[in-house]
Structure 1
């Protein structure tokens, strides 16, 4: 049996590497496998979600089922009953078990390559602090560069500001073309960014590549970009894959980055806040530390991360319970990913057809999220307009969905158009197991109503 099936039966060993899980149709040596989950079961698992809200924004904060929340509560009580015993005899073993599950899911070589941290923001601090230290200690030349996509997560940009540029490093931002026709457009721009990063004899000390960008959301050809980085002599590559686990297949050996982080609370049903950071073992392993220094400092990042002082570690301990949850679905996590991808594309097409607009990228560049063009008649002409529309949909229509402003090019070329003009607004819709057709119909009707009433973003109320 593969590791998922073993853990579902309560085994504590997870030494197998990940193989495709095809649900519960295999005959098990052990009896009493959980039956496949039903629609009423799914509704019950997410019955704590606020009723009446079309929650089509799983990408931002994720979602956690009741059975996993119950497991989390058990861990919390176990700690509170006897904290000393928990600290000395339970915590580290439990975190190791979670790390071992992740090792299998991402095809890592060694469990010691995997650390559990709060979120991708913490992982960015870990990676960027060691780059900043190298600048500060004179190991890197002033103005050596970090190359990243311009749409990198804001917290990553702030980390660069905090740790790298203030220590003398410089930054090159690569423009992500959008809307997209093919991944070749991204590869072309990325190569230009690397050329710029190496101008005047500078060295690129770090490339930061998103696996799935947040806004606009696009699946990036990360393996190809890492390979290009290697060919171009980039020192280290950090893949910020905040949205990846539970959303796309991950094979860290195949991707080949030095660092790879993904949040477990976005698409892998963990409670907030937990992420894994994979640090590839190499002879020149850098001086990597958790930014919160506790008494485990110097014992390796996995151990440092497993104790950063007294706090609630339960989110890091429930990973095996999440595996139990996803294995109640046909095909396990692979099946969930596939269905989310199919459904979000289907819903995206329904919306774009209804509004006479477009999708922001081809199907193969989407995972569980897709960008859908909004009618140009809404006159979404700034970030402020995007924020107003989002707030208005939440307050007046019970629809939760992020809105993206895409400035049209000065020459008016390159952007998508509908019958009334250039499309400058996009909605990022997500699909997760709890979503229903009604959620997307509610959103569709809200936009149609605003257009029908000749409302434009500037005049919308948000409270």
Structure 2
């Protein structure tokens, strides 16, 4: 098949933004905006919610879509499966995992649902799902649905986290929950936990949590929605039971695309994709599969074609990883820049607001590309004002910063990315300060 004509990579000119050495770094910061299609009147300080994809990769996305329109049967039946395998191979290599342990799904929520809905829960009403109080809302709702619809077969136990906490305190809270589950006559069957939680956006000690699960015979399901492209992930070393991570966020793959990892030892548990499609093997025997290209792995076949959906984004994974290497210098440089910018940018924003960044003494919570900055508002103001502030950010300042309450205080979550620099965090500090002053003047009450 003919290949898409790639645009030439821009010349790399050094940058000293946030202390990055001029002779070793690509041009990170606002000049990197040339590769994206953001409205020039807006600032994207919320990469963590929906991600963004470079123009060059989005052109490749459209190219795949055009091929599907030009010759649907030839492309969808015979060509796309091979390109999909190349994408799986590329992301598997990035995550240090065997290719046939990874498949692609629309997003992390679908991945979490796929695992939870495939588990054979026991009939003795002892199975319990452990999760942390900072769980992503959709995943929390999935657990609630399973509990509500299980007719008492499944229960759930929350591990309460109130930050700041050291990693040891998080682990201690998990161990207490496991012990409490046993004492109550339950069986901790599975633990669902994040790499980087959403709100507040902090790094959990997911490596240690995975180890505790393995030692106690609990299935580990890692929600790495904020994961690949933001932090280093080594699945061979980590060895979780299940792992899912969005590719359309920090990795720059177009929406919507996520990687679902299931080691070979657990693949028999995942009997069906979500929704069930041609790859499912019923107990009565295989039905006719109209798609001609199959893999040797039943697990991979299950996810190769899940109904007629636009999966063009899946086909862009390999090209996106190559683009990150060619244009941005590779994963190590990207991660170093965005994590450094989040740390230094958070300090800058907090200094303007006269507040602080949410972190612990060891700084382990902030080893990621997001920062959480306290707002200078009292509890009464923050309860009333957050919705108005977020809407006003869009209408008056042409930006969006998620605001959330934690530990009786209102916080702002700001994302660092290669197209941002320290000036963006300074600007964010000033508009947040102005919004807080407007709240104190009662403007939010006049709506």
Matching residue of 2:175: 191
Partner deviation per Cα, 1:288-345 (whole Å, 9 max, x = no partner)? 3212122222373322222111121110000111012201345412211110000111
Deviation (angstroms), 1:153: 0.9
Partner deviation per Cα, 1:220-259 (whole Å, 9 max, x = no partner)? 111111111222232x110001000000000112222110
- The 5 Å alignment of 1:151-162 reads 151-162=134-145
Q: Is the 8 A contact 1:126 1:288 kept in 2?
A: no
Matching residue of 1:86: 75
1:44 aligns with 2:34: yes
1:115 aligns with 2:103: yes
1:278 aligns with 2:261: yes
5+ residue gaps in structure 1? 1-6, 11-22, 24-34, 409-423
Q: Is the 8 A contact 1:329 1:336 kept in 2?
A: no
Q: Is the 8 A contact 2:29 2:420 kept in 1?
A: no
1-side partners of 2:64 and 2:4: how far apart?
18
Partner deviation per Cα, 1:126-184 (whole Å, 9 max, x = no partner)? 111023xx23xxx342142000011111111121222344212000011122133x212
SS at match of 1:214: coil
1-side partners of 2:143 and 2:231: how far apart?
27
SS at match of 2:130: strand
Q: CA RMSD in A?
A: 2.6
Say which is worse superposed, 355-364 or 91-100, in terms of deviation.
355-364
Q: Is the 8 A contact 1:172 1:196 kept in 2?
A: no
Q: Report the TM-score when normalising by structure 1.
A: 0.82
SS at match of 2:326: coil
2-side partners of 1:215 and 1:74: how far apart?
36
CA 1:331–1:117 in 2, change beyond 3 Å: closer, same or farther? same
2:229 to 246, 259, 262: 246
5+ residue gaps in structure 2? 7-11, 13-24, 282-296
CA 1:85–1:452 in 2, change beyond 3 Å: closer, same or farther? closer
CA 1:386–1:304 in 2, change beyond 3 Å: closer, same or farther? same
Matching residue of 2:273: 290
CA 1:38–1:225 in 2, change beyond 3 Å: closer, same or farther? closer
Matching residue of 1:374: 375
- The 5 Å alignment of 1:47-126 reads 48-108=37-97, 110-126=98-114
Q: Is the 8 A contact 1:36 1:328 kept in 2?
A: no
Partner deviation per Cα, 1:21-56 (whole Å, 9 max, x = no partner)? xx9xxxxxxxxxxx966778722211x212222211
Matching residue of 2:16: none
Matching residue of 1:364: 364
Matching residue of 1:303: 301
SS at match of 2:265: coil
Matching residue of 2:291: none
